Amino acid sequence: MAFQHGQAADVWQYGGFLDLAYELNYNFPENHQWRSKETSPRTNELAPNMGLAYLRKDPARESRWGMELAFQGGYDTDALVPQPNASGVKPIEGADTLRYLARANVSYLAPVGHGLTISAGLIKGMKTYEEFYAKYNINYTRAYLTDYNPNFMIGVGASSEITKSFELGLYIVNEYQHLSHANDLPSYVAKMEWRAGDHVTLYQNLYYGPDQRDTSLRFWRIFSDSTVEWRTPEWKIALSYDVGSEEMSDAPTNARAAWMGAALFTQRHLAGPWSVGIRPEFYWDPQGRMTERDQLLWANSTTLEYKRHFGQQLAIVRFEYRYDHSSGAQGGFFHHGSALGVPKIVPSQHLTILGLVLAFDSA
């Protein structure tokens, strides 16, 4: 991924991309909104979901200091600013401006073992299989578990290759949502990547910290993200599973909330620039802690991709069909029509999506 990984010491790299889509929602909601979705949230209109520009220098043994600076904008940044809620969560000061920052950090490669990379600032979130940015994924739309994962972190930490096939990172961060503020205590993140074989890689992320006004240990959130990937030149197959839990200080009986989700990512290279990917998924949020609604979501996305490099330029065209279903007391999707000014809600939706990503990288 050009946005994250460098190739040479003391070399500044720069680039960016533009991500546009038209998502035809056959429910035809008047508000054009995709209910319970944080990325690619607008339907039935041409949507500039993301634009990004970056400048980066990676640390290396020959030049140990590094930095990243990246700016972003588009509909995919809207949900990065949290809404105030009863548990004490509110946006940090300047969140409406800070959502346009994708990276802002410095790093140093210390001569410890195989190399200890220390980073501080706004950095990439958990080491997940599917990215926040559509450019790097198999499908155009992201899975629900990706939407509600910590995709960005503000903090300080270090990562190291313990062996050539095992990497571990530990970080102290502000909160689960990087632009939210409920208290002044830090949270903690651990990342692990293990290349278990020629074709198999395991990723594991853990989060533990206080995300409510009451910082008593009993109310701390615990969250796990796990992925196993099998990859060959022709196939990519990965299974991701997320589970989280916290006792709710704002609930009358301090009930415990839990949520979980899973997605199976598959892609087959067909020929030349053509590939096809299929992703079934589910997301269960019975207390509405993540999606703000008591619901069980499940979906399936099928994507035909055309990807081609033109020198330093890259063009990705994705044609995608997606079906979503939501059950539960507060589940559902927006539909054409309303009653007393309230949009109509139905249990399912069908979408046909055309996504276009145009990118440039100096590396």
pLDDT band, residue 363 (cuts 50/70/90): confident
Provide the pLDDT confidence category of residue 250 given band limits of 50, 70 and 90. confident
Mean of the per-residue pLDDT values of the chain = 95
Place of tokens 């503000």: 154
pLDDT given at position 130: 97
DSSP 269-301: EEETTEEEEEEEEEEEETT-TTTSS-EEEEEEE
d(CA 285, CA 257): 9
Q: How many residues does the chain have?
A: 363
The pLDDT confidence band at residue 17, using thresholds 50, 70 and 90, is very high
Q: Which of 260, 254, 257 is nearest to 246 (CA)?
A: 257
Domain ranges in the chain?
19-361
Is pLDDT of 270 > 80?
yes
Question: Which residue has better confidence, 131 or 340?
Answer: 131
Write down the pLDDT at residue 85: 84
Return the structure tokens found at 203: 């990723």
Choose among 179, 180, 155: nearest CA to 169: 155
Tokens 């002044």 locate to 184
CATH architecture of 19-361: Beta Barrel (2.40)
Query: Looking at residue 81, what is its pLDDT?
Result: 96
Q: What is the mean pLDDT of residues 118-126?
A: 97
Per-residue pLDDT tens digits for 201-229: 999 999 999 999 999 999 999 999 999 99
pLDDT recorded at residue 10: 61
**What pLDDT does 4 receive?**
47
Give me the pLDDT at residue 339, please.
Answer: 82
The answer, yes or no, to whether residue 129 has pLDDT greater than 50, is yes
User: Between 353 and 6, whose confidence is greater?
Assistant: 353
pLDDT value of residue 254: 84
Least confident stretch, 11-20, 245-254, 269-278: 245-254
Per-residue confidence (pLDDT) for residue 251, from 0 to 100: 85
Query: Does the pLDDT of residue 117 top 90, yes or no?
Result: yes
Q: Render pLDDT for 55-98 as a digit per residue (tens, 0 to 9).
A: 999 999 899 999 999 999 999 999 999 988 888 889 999 999 99
The mean pLDDT value for 4-20 works out to 77
Q: Is the pTM of this model over 0.85?
A: yes
Task: State the pLDDT at residue 9.
Answer: 52
Contact 123, 133 (CB under 8 A): no
Q: What is the SS3 assignment for 232?
A: coil
The rounded percent of the chain whose pLDDT value lies above 70 is 97
d(CA 348, CA 297): 10
Q: How many H helices and E strands in the chain?
A: 2, 20
pLDDT band with cut points at 50, 70 and 90 for residue 5 = very low
